[in-house]
Every structure is written in structure tokens, then in C-alpha cells.
């Protein structure tokens, strides 16, 4: 048997454990989670007919890793796709109020979000050549160079707010949006790359698209993973450190317990990984600790449909961080997925805090709810009190892939490689989305299996 201890019971750790057990019965896998519940940021609060996601709101079908995982777990019949019409109706809340984001080229031409100069800057992107040199570049610098300063200020800020809740001047374009950077490198421009990726043959079937979730929320995925593991994950157990001798690893629990392992995978947040390896490798711990996180408060509010003046039949709206408003944006959850609110009610999910306004996430409930109410009154005309409310706070929410992130991750991987059997996982390295976590779990499972097979082959050769 190959003993694998996975520290961290979020989506990365659980999906890795499941994939390992799928691949071979020779893996003896134990998941340890410091928190009292599994799932990390992923979870669903269900109360009074409302279903509020504590973290991700879904996953895109542009990568198949999470769809495949759901199918393998027998959850295919519970998959739900975000409403197509709602997905088209996305809004920006800026100095001019709530304004619909263009859903296509014609919408873009008619939109008043950008001046004609700003629109021409985007059109000229077709003619601009690719960047020379290989240095890292911020999202803001990449966008200004490709589509101009106005579109960067208006649109890119909104996109980055919605995905990373971070500062586009600090975030690495190559690490946060590698597909776009690769398109420029291969095709000379992002626009040409997007067009090149579309099916050209008559009758060609486009890739499956859209945002997906599960009928009762993403918490269902966590429950299914935990229930399918041969060894039940242990919650409420923190890890104090690691030691290694010729027999392998020993995982030292904060409760003084010890667990032997051949392979240790740290799938907890980067700052927790840093604390665990602090005595084993000071330099590795320092580099892990340098990965920044933002702070986010998630507020779920339910209203009677009659108390919401505007038609919330859309995806929601973003309030760009440059405006420094008290919230980052609002998802109209009951329009996106069916069954997220009881009949005659509307569910909104509000995000606050982020890189620019971290203090907002720390406000007490009364102050935070008052600020959220004021924003909803201004943007959506809601003056009534909610019939449901729930606040979730994440002191370290989304890893921030700042400039130099790729080089930092490469260094961490090389350094960890000096400790055979020690591996890092989680969304601090290769993508913050749910799909990135499930995809990396599959890749890591393959790597662990290959390493175990090589070790067994070597042992047989020595025995002969």
C-alpha cells in the first residue's frame, strides 16, 4: 500500500483523494481538515427554501474536469445549467447607474459604455502585433496595450472584480488569464485567437458552454466526494508540522497525534502550508507565505418578489473596484438557477471587500447589512427589509496571482521536490476556479500514481 495523507478537505483535497482511490486500490488515503466542516470555501447554506453558495457560484464547461467528476460520482442527473437568458443580461453599476453589458458585437456597437474612441481602440487590437519579450505583465498593462486605456478602465476592472476581486495593476496577466496571453503569442492578437477557436466546418459541434451547478447547490458535490471515499475524512484536526526519516513521513497533529505517510499532499491554503513546513524548510515557508489573499464577505438576502421593483431577470451586476463602493457586485441567484428561492421570492448574493476595500469584509453584521441595503436601494430601488439573510466572511478568500506568480510557483515546486513525497495542491498555484482545482487534482493523481509505480518497480529490481 502507498499511504497518502492529504492535508485540506476542500475541493482540491477531496477530489484528489477520490481520483487516487479511483486509480488504484493500493492507495491508502486519509484526508485531514482543520475546520469543523469539509469543502473549504465551497458549500451551500439551505434555509427556508433559500440556497446560498458560500463560495463559488458554479463552474464553466470550458474545462470538463468538474463535469466529469460529477458524472463519475453519479450526479449527472442533478446538474443544472445557468439560465441562458439570464446569463446574457449582465450589468455594470458605475457613475451613470445600472447599465447593461453588451452581449455581442452589435450590442457592443450600440452600447454607451465606451466612447467611439474607446470602441475604435478595441477594433485596432486586430492590427496590433504581439508583445516582444517574455517579461511578466500586469492585467492592466496587457489590456491597455491591446484594447486601450478606456476599455481597460471600464471593462477590465469589472471583469477582474468579478473573478478575482483584485487589482488589475498588480495581478499577472499570464497567471490569471493564460488563455488570452497564449492567444496573443500564437495568433498575434486575442481577437484573432478567439475567432480561430470557433468551429469552421459546416455542421461542426461547438464545445459545451455555459455555467453549471447542481440542483441543490455545490455543497452536494462535497457531500458526494466525502461519502465515496474508503476512509472517511477527519475534520477538526489541524497539522502542526512534518518530519521525515528513511521510513517516510510523519504528519504531526496539533493534538499531538501522529500519522505515518509515504506521500503528503498539502491542499490547504498557502498560509497554512507555510505554517506546516516552517520547521522543515524555512525558505519554502517564506515563499508560500508571500502568496497574498483578499478578504471577502458574502451576504445572502432573500426578498419577496413584489418588494423588488426592477425585473431581476438577469445574472447580476458588478461595481468596479475603482469606484470604491461598499460592495463588489450582486448575483441574482434565483434568476440564474432554478430552485434557489421559494415561490414568490428572490435570492440575491452580494460580495463585499476585495483587494481595494478589505475593511468592509470586517464590518459587524449591522453595519455591513446597512451598507448592502443602501447599495441595493441605489442600484435596484429595493427599500423593503429582506425576509432572509445570511453573512459569510472569508478572511483569506481568493489567492491573488500578483506579478511574478508563475516564477514563484515554479520555485515552490522545485523546492518541494527536494523533499521526496511532499506535494502542494490547491487554488493558490494554477488557477482559482473550481475547474482549475478539479483539473489539477486529476493531474496530481496521475503524478502520484506514476511515482508509486516507479518506486514499486525499483523495489522489485532491488529484491531480485
**Domain around 457:** 2-39+220-292+401-463
**Residue 203: predicted pLDDT:** 39
- Give a yes or no: residue 104 inside a domain: no
From CA 357, how far away is CA 362, in angstroms rounded? 10
Burial class (CB in 10 A: 0-12, 13-18, 19+), 246: exposed
From CA 210, how far away is CA 282, in angstroms rounded? 43
Which of 122-126, 138-142, 260-264 shows the lowest per-residue confidence on average (mean pLDDT)?
Answer: 122-126
**Residue 458: predicted pLDDT:** 62
Domain count within the chain = 3
Residues 235 and 363 in one domain: no
Residues 315 and 285 in one domain: no
pLDDT at 459 over 70: no
From CA 333, how far away is CA 31, in angstroms rounded? 32
Predicted confidence (pLDDT) per residue in 370-390, tens digit: 999 999 999 999 999 999 999
Residues 300 and 380 in one domain: yes
CATH of the domain at 12: 3.50.50.60
Residue 184 · residue 193 · CB < 8 Å:
yes
**Residue 463: predicted pLDDT:** 65
The pTM assigned to this predicted structure is: 0.93
Structure confidence at residue 126 as a pLDDT band (50, 70, 90): low
pLDDT at 213 over 90: yes
pLDDT at 327 over 90: yes
**Residue 14: predicted pLDDT:** 98
From CA 43, how far away is CA 32, in angstroms rounded? 18
CATH of the domain at 161: 1.10.3110.10
How far does CA 239 lie from the centroid of its chain?
24
- Give a yes or no: residue 76 inside a domain: no
Residues 263 and 407 in one domain: yes
pLDDT at 107 over 90: no
Q: What is the DSSP string of 89-108?
A: -EEEEETTEEEEPP-SHHHH
From CA 135, how far away is CA 153, in angstroms rounded? 23
Among 155, 180, 196, the domain boundary falls at: 196
- Give a yes or no: residue 65 inside a domain: no
Residues 285 and 302 in one domain: no
Amino acid at each position: 500500500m502507498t499511504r497518502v495523507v492529504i492535508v485540506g478537505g476542500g475541493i482540491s483535497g477531496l477530489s484528489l483523494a477520490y481520483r487516487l482511490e479511483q486509480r488504484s486500490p493500493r492507495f491508502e488515503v486519509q484526508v485531514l481538515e482543520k475546520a469543523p466542516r469539509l469543502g473549504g470555501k465551497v458549500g451551500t447554506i439551505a434555509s427556508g427554501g433559500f440556497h446560498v453558495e458560500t463560495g463559488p457560484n458554479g463552474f464553466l464547461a470550458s474545462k470538463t474536469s468538474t463535469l466529469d467528476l460529477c458524472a463519475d460520482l453519479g450526479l449527472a442527473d442533478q446538474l443544472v445549467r445557468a439560465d441562458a437568458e439570464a446569463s446574457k443580461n449582465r450589468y455594470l453599476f458605475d457613475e451613470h447607474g445600472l447599465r447593461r453589458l453588451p452581449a455581442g458585437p452589435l450590442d457592443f456597437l450600440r452600447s454607451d459604455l465606451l466612447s467611439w474612441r474607446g470602441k475604435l481602440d478595441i477594433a485596432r487590437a486586430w492590427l496590433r502585433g504581439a508583445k516582444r519579450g517574455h517579461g511578466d505583465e500586469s492585467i492592466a498593462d496587457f489590456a491597455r496595450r491591446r484594447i486601450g486605456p478606456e476599455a481597460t478602465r471600464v471593462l477590465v476592472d469589472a471583469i477582474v472584480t468579478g473573478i478575482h476581486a483584485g487589482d488589475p495593476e498588480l495581478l499577472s496577466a499570464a497567471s490569471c488569464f493564460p488563455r488570452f496571453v497564449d492567444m496573443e503569442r500564437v495568433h498575434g492578437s486575442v481577437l484573432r485567437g478567439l475567432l480561430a477557436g470557433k468551429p469552421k466546418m459546416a455542421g461542426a459541434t461547438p464545445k459545451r458552454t455555459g455555467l453549471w451547478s447542481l440542483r441543490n447547490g455545490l455543497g452536494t458535490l462535497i457531500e458526494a466526494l466525502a461519502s465515496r471515499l474508503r476512509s472517511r475524512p477527519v475534520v477538526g484536526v489541524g497539522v502542526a508540522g512534518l518530519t521525515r526519516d528513511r521510513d517516510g513521513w510523519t504528519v504531526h497533529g496539533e493534538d499531538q497525534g501522529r500519522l505515518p505517510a509515504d506521500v503528503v499532499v498539502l491542499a490547504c491554503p498557502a498560509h497554512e502550508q507555510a505554517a506546516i513546513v516552517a520547521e522543515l524548510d524555512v525558505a519554502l515557508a517564506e515563499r508560500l507565505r508571500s502568496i497574498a489573499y483578499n478578504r471577502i464577505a458574502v451576504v445572502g438576502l432573500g426578498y419577496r418578489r413584489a418588494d423588488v421593483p426592477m425585473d431581476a431577470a438577469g445574472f447580476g451586476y458588478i461595481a468596479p473596484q475603482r469606484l470604491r463602493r461598499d460592495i463588489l457586485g450582486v448575483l441574482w441567484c434565483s434568476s440564474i438557477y432554478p430552485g434557489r428561492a421559494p415561490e414568490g421570492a428572490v435570492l440575491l448574493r452580494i460580495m463585499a471587500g476585495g483587494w481595494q476595500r478589505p475593511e468592509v469584509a470586517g464590518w459587524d453584521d449591522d453595519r455591513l447589512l446597512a451598507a448592502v441595503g443602501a447599495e441595493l436601494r441605489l442600484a435596484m430601488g429595493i427599500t423593503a427589509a429582506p425576509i432572509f439573510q445570511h453573512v459569510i466572511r472569508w478572511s483569506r478568500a481568493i489567492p491573488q496571482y500578483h506579478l511574478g506568480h508563475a516564477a514563484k510557483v515554479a520555485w515552490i515546486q522545485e523546492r518541494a521536490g527536494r523533499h521526496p513525497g511532499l506535494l502542494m495542491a490547491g487554488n493558490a498555484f494554477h488557477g482559482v476556479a473550481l475547474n482549475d482545482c478539479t483539473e489539477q487534482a486529476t493531474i496530481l493523481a496521475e503524478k502520484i500514481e506514476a511515482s508509486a509505480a516507479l518506486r514499486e518497480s525499483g523495489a522489485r529490481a532491488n529484491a531480485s
